[in-house]
Amino acid sequence: MEPMTWFGTSWGAPINDTCEQVAVPVGELCEWCEEPIRETESGIMLDSLGVDGIRRAAYHVECQTRSVVGGYNHLKGRCMCCGGTEPPDPPELSKRDAAKLAAMYFGLGTHRYLDDRDDDQHWMLDGHTPVRTSFLRWGLWYDTADRQVGFAEVGPYRVSTIFLGLNHDLSGDGPPILFETMIFGPVEPEVLAERIASFTRLGVSEELAPQVAGHEEALTWRYATWDEAEQGHQEGVALVRLRLAAMEQAVNEAEQRSQARNDHQGGTN
């Protein structure tokens, strides 16, 4: 196996002094986030053992750090392995941005080489108005920002609308998509049973399978502005109330049909 090497700009780690610096593998996919490595980025090269044997793999420095120390929520003690309820990485972030956030929180010297110019991907709130920012300033803002637009509990459902802080417009042709409404509700029993059975077949223990399968489904809508998100939140709450009313009506009608059958049977006996 070949020794570890590094590329890009030094981030002040021992590897930068003791290992060989090599050319940036521009265009090669990062082993962790699967995004192409750019000419201005830094990282490491190391041997990776896969099903096809040993091969040379490239990692962004933040992605390699994330693979070792864990995600941002893990480092904050919020994830399930720490007794919390959140996934290791914030689910609204791409693997690349989640790795950057984890590396920054862990203390990696990313501030030494990260570009602090505003870009079209990272956004903060000025009141209710989204403003473009750099990743560096966005990462510092994100940890303490109040991003909640609206939240409501309606029966067994939860409706949450937040400012994402990242542009989710994948087309690149429209306005930045920065807000999201999600409706969390109970999973149908049949669906939950099939999920549990699927995880059990994959080798997950019978005790852990129900936790992994989850007990909630989520519907999602996204928007470009705060006003659109507020309206979408209200529509989400109204949708849940309509669904609950329809469910209650269906139950009442079923009970009435059952009672009618019982009355009919009682009259013929």
Interval 69-79: pLDDT, tens: 889 888 888 88
Mean pLDDT confidence for 226-248: 91
pLDDT at 173: 78
The pTM of this model reads: 0.56
Q: Which two tokens mark 6?
A: 């590094």
Taking Cα atoms as reference points, which of 88, 83, 107 lies closest to residue 98?
88
Taking Cα atoms as reference points, which of 105, 103, 109, 114 lies closest to residue 14?
109
pLDDT at 212: 60
Interval 159-172: pLDDT, tens: 999 999 888 887 77
pLDDT at 238: 93
Is a pLDDT exceeding 60 seen at residue 111?
A: no
Is a pLDDT exceeding 60 seen at residue 115?
A: no
pLDDT at 79: 80
**Mind giving me the DSSP string for 15-47?**
HHHHS-EE---TTPBPTTT-PBPPTT--EEEEE
Taking Cα atoms as reference points, which of 178, 164, 172, 174 lies closest to residue 223?
178
pLDDT at 264: 65
pLDDT at 156: 85
| Sequence ranges of the domains in the chain | 5-114, 148-262
- Which stretch of 21-25, 148-152, 209-213, 238-242 has the lowest confidence by average pLDDT? 209-213
Comparing 248 with 265, the larger pLDDT belongs to 248
Integer CA distances (angstroms), 25 to 36, 42, 128, 211, in order: 9, 10, 41, 40
Interval 72-100: pLDDT, tens: 888 888 887 777 788 899 888 899 999 98
Interval 32-78: pLDDT, tens: 999 999 999 999 999 887 667 788 999 999 999 898 888 988 888 88
Tell me the average pLDDT of the chain.
83
Is a pLDDT exceeding 80 seen at residue 21?
A: yes
Interval 165-202: pLDDT, tens: 888 887 777 899 999 999 888 767 777 788 778 777 77
pLDDT at 110: 47
pLDDT at 113: 40
